[in-house]
Structure formats: C-alpha cells, structure tokens
Amino acid sequence: MEKVKVGVIGLGRLGMVHMEHLVTQIGEADVKAVFALDQAQLDYVKQNFGVATYTDYKALIDNEDIDAVFIVTPTGLHPEMTVYALNAGKHVFCEKPVGLRLDEGVREMERAVNDHPELTFQLGFMRRYDASYKQAKELVQAGKIGDIIYIRAYGIDPISGMESFTKFATDNDSGGVFVDMCIHDIDLIRWFTGLEPVETWSLGNTIAAPHLERIGEFETGVATLRFANGMVATLIGGRHAAHGSHVELEIMGSHGWIRVAQEPEKNFVTLFTDAGVVRPCMQGFPERFMQAFLDEKKDFIKRVQEKKQGSITMEDGIRALVIADACKESAATGKLVNI
C-alpha cells in the first residue's frame, strides 16, 4: 500500500511526540510538513528531520502533497482547523477534546465530519489504545466483576509539569480541569460501560496552586456522576502530584474489582536505603501512554490506507465534551447539573 503523506499541525508538548513517532516509528507514514507558531519548534524539526515547515496552517493543508493532518494545537482551534482540512479533502486525526464548548465551532466541525464520510476522522482519546485499559474493558464485558456499582478515576499531573501547564493555560484557554483532564476518564467510563451519566455535582479548588485562580483554572477538580441505572463515578483531575504523573482507575463490580495502575511505577526498580523503600514514578503523560500514543497513530494511518473511519468518533468527542462541560458548570455554580 502507498504511504500516507502527513502534515503535523502543532509542535508543542504533545505535537512533538506525535511528529517524532510518525517520522521514526511509523513506516506507513511519510511526514512531509509541519506547522507551528513557535520558530524554535520549527527549527528543531527542520534541522533534525529535514521536514518542510509552515507558519500558516492553511498553506500546509492546501499543499497537494499532504493526504492527512494531525491537529495538535490548543483546543479552541480544533474545530476551525478540522473543518478547513476536511473541506480541503484531507483525513484528520484531531487531539482531544474536540473543542472548548459546543457552541464554539464544534457543531460546524460535526457537520464537516458528517459531510465527508469518504475521509477518515479520528479523535485522540489514546487511553483506549492502552493495553491495561483494553484488558479492563474485556474483563468488564466478559462479566468477570459482575454489574458495575462504582468507578473511581484519578488523573493528576506532576507538580514538575506545573510551569509548562501554567504557560499553556495562560497563553490559551485549556478548557479547565474537567474539559482538559477529566475528559479522558469520562471517555473511558463511556467506553467501558456503554452508559451515559445523567447528573453531576462537581467541585474545585486551587489550594495547591493559588496562582491558577488568576487564569480561571481549578488546580483540583472533583466530579461525581450519576448514571440512569444508579451507577456512580468519581473523577479527580489535578496538577499537583508531588511524586509523579498519577493516573489511576478502579472499577468496583458486584462480584469483583479491577484496578489499573494504583501506583504510577516507572519500572521494576526498588531503591532500599536509610530513607526507606522507594519505587521511582512516571513523571509525565508521554511516559505513561507512549505505546498508546504510538498505537493510535498506527491504527489511524492503517484506517486511512484501508479507507475506513476512525475508531474514536466525533460523536464520542461531543458526548464527552457535554459531560465535562456539565461538570464545569456544576463547579462554577455549586449546583447539581442535569446532563
């Protein structure tokens, strides 16, 4: 099969990971061009990978030598960039979330996806490609833990990432802790259970990082979700874990529990000293989900070659955004919000 000619739009914390994977590890992709506003990012890619660079994303998309684009820019730009790319006849892999709010271009983005069934669209909820979550889903679906009663999920970035997050959320609207962080676990819960929440009560604070209040961010957000069958989920998103990147999930069923990554261990090393027994921890999301990031892109490229739709759809993105937005509204108003 012919290689898929690719452009990468956005070369920041995650865009650079996607770009390097595509160039070095995905043989079926041929990276032709990259876009960023940051000249240092463009220079790095030009020098190390010899790829054409753009500071105008539309010019990159209009390049006839591009079949597919990866959109890895700040979230508020996902709708306009996706619409432009699809209307120009390009396949789109778009990072999560689909956008910041439904009424800020997301409905137009949905229309463009629906108007172009001939083009592959896939959303970057990469946790669905993680081996542990895939096994957890299989166990749930095989009935190994019975009926699900409760799900608890932690998604907490390390304190060491606070500076880069503060810059990201100052330069752009991140969406806030529910739309930016908890949305991953919202997607996983929908994927594991096939159920949609009907109500949320959510809260947030900035105790661990008061400076975030000035840019309208909660450092920690806690969402309680109630589902129509009575199932309950608690999601905790945050940016303050002292030990590392803490991503943990527990599914409690009538006949057993599943826990994924109860401690974010980096590897098999344990250090025994007079300070005690220490297990090194993962320090960032790229480390925890490196294989999932790689596998989602391999699958997307294969789907483009086979003229198939993406595995994670626009509808998945919209449903997750509606839930995350309801959590945000609840935390802002202090009220129980119907979803």
Site for ligand NAD, rule CB under 6 A: 10-15, 36-38, 41, 72-75, 77, 95-96, 124, 126, 168, 180, 285
Nearer to ligand NAD, 37 or 232 (CB): 37
Residue 285 CB, shortest distance to ligand NAD, in Å, is 5
Q: How far is the CB of 274 from ligand NAD (least distance, A)?
A: 38
Q: How far is the CB of 215 from ligand NAD (least distance, A)?
A: 14
Toward ligand NAD, which CB reaches closer, 57 or 227?
57
- Sign of the Cα pseudo-torsion (208, 73, 125, 26, in order): negative
What minimum distance in Å lies between the beta carbon of 277 and ligand NAD? 31
| Count of CB atoms situated within 10 Å of the CB of 15 | 23
Residue among 124 and 221 whose Cβ is closer to ligand NAD: 124
User: If you ran DSSP here, which 8-state letter would residue 95 be given?
Assistant: P
Nearest-angstrom CA–CA distance, 228 and 199: 9
In angstroms, what is the minimal distance from the CB of 101 to ligand NAD? 14
Q: Report the candidate in 337, 306, 318 with the shortest Cα–Cα distance to residue 28.
A: 306
Q: Quick check: 209 and 218 in contact, CB under 8 A?
A: no
Measured on CA atoms in the order 229, 154, 93, 2, is the torsion positive or negative?
negative
- Residue type at position 216: G
Quick one: 82 or 227, whose CB is closer to ligand NAD? 82
Residue nearest to ligand NAD (CB): 12
Sign, Cα dihedral of 95, 8, 308, 79: positive
Pick between residue 35 and residue 192 the one whose CB is nearest to ligand NAD.
Answer: 35
